Amino acid sequence: MTASEQPTTAIVFPGMGPSSFSEVGKFLVLDPFARKRLAEADEALGYSVFDRFRESEDSYSEATQIAFLVNSMASADRAVEELGIAPDICVGPSFGQKAATAFVGSLPFPELVRLTAEMARYEIAYFTEEYQDAVTHTFFRTPQDKLAEILAEFDERGEWYDYSGYLDEGFCMISLREKELEGLKQRVSQIGGYSMYTMVPAVHAPAFKELRRRVEEDVLPKYELADPRLPVVTDQDGTVVRTADELRSMLLDTFDRPIHWPKVVATLKETGVAKVCISGPDNLFHRLECTKSNFEVVTVGPGKRPRDRAPRKR
């Protein structure tokens, strides 16, 4: 890639935080782009995603995941068609990988909807059978040396934990047993950190290799991925994906490899990206310091007016 060909704009599909019908349900029926995508999802699955989402009490249920996917894709449609965003490169941290897969043409949206639903069912079955008490906790403002001391205490007691994500300096995701959660929150607070939210079931942990194996053997072979039309940056280590096989590996890596957003940011900077369009219901990635300090940020999604933010000076 020559200097003149370097990308300048990236589209980012955010990972999925806690999401409720009251927060984004209205967007599904009022936004014309969302209504179109929702109709496609309903046809692909043979049921009303809106109705199931409205009835769901689980922040990460199958219907909730599909609704998040619909809203992310609808936001991208608006970004491209109304705002004229023409991305050169694509990123999908965590759950955002799924929308990214459809956006770059590696899988038609209806098939991606079915794949997402199947993956959700496999996750539910896996965490019903194994790691029933595993959760992933997100927290920030935790000095690395102090966090290492906390995790050393886990090691001394023989308690399981895994890193599930590195989001920014002092900003981490740790998977652990639910019975250890309150103790972790207390220790994080004692070292000056702040707890954000807890995901159930847990995500992105090396301990979940069996879930990866099940999806790899039982689910993905049903779907024929195409080479992406745009390069995709993996959320695990910032590698640039250009083939269907590489993208397939990325989708599997999400089960047992932690995300590393600073490495994504480094890759985007190296490839010349100056602007990122964060497309979907996002309460996290556009707020991260390493995002704000390095890029002009455009946010498009439920409850947001499209806004440009120049990079924050350090």
Query: What structural domains and CATH numbers belong to the chain?
Result: 7-129+207-309 (3.40.366.10), 134-200 (3.30.70.250)
pLDDT tens over the chain, length 314 residues: 444 456 699 999 999 876 667 677 888 888 999 999 999 999 999 999 999 999 887 778 899 999 999 999 999 999 999 999 999 999 999 999 999 999 999 999 999 999 999 999 999 999 999 999 999 999 999 999 999 999 999 999 999 999 999 999 999 999 999 999 999 999 999 999 999 999 998 999 999 999 999 999 999 999 999 999 999 999 999 999 999 999 999 999 999 999 999 999 999 999 999 999 999 998 899 999 999 999 999 999 886 554 445 454 44
Q: How far apart are CA 252 and CA 248, in angstroms?
A: 6
Phi-psi region at 174: left, alpha or beta (left = phi > 0; alpha = psi -120 to 50)? beta
Which of 101, 98, 93 lies closest to 261 in space, CA to CA? 93
In the chain the first and final C-alpha atoms are separated, in Å, by 29
Contact 101, 140 (CB under 8 A): no
Angle at 287 between CA 171 and CA 280, to 5 degrees: 115
Q: Amino acid identity, residue 276?
A: V
Residue carrying the six token digits 């070292």: 191
Query: For residue 111, with 0-12 CB atoms within 10 Å meaning exposed, 13-18 middle and 19 or more buried, which class applies?
Result: middle
Which of 254, 261, 260 lies closest to 294 in space, CA to CA? 261
Report DSSP state, residue 130: S
Instruction: State the pLDDT at residue 314.
Output: 40
269 phi/psi in degrees, rounded to 5: -65, -40
Contact 290, 169 (CB under 8 A): yes
Instruction: State the pLDDT at residue 4.
Output: 47
Query: Hey, what are 27's tokens?
Result: 């967007």
Query: Hey, what are 81's tokens?
Result: 């068609």
Residue 188 CB partners (closer than 8 Å, separation 6+)? 139, 142, 150, 194, 195
Residue 16 CB partners (closer than 8 Å, separation 6+)? 60, 65, 68, 94, 95, 96
Query: Hey, what are 191's tokens?
Result: 């070292």
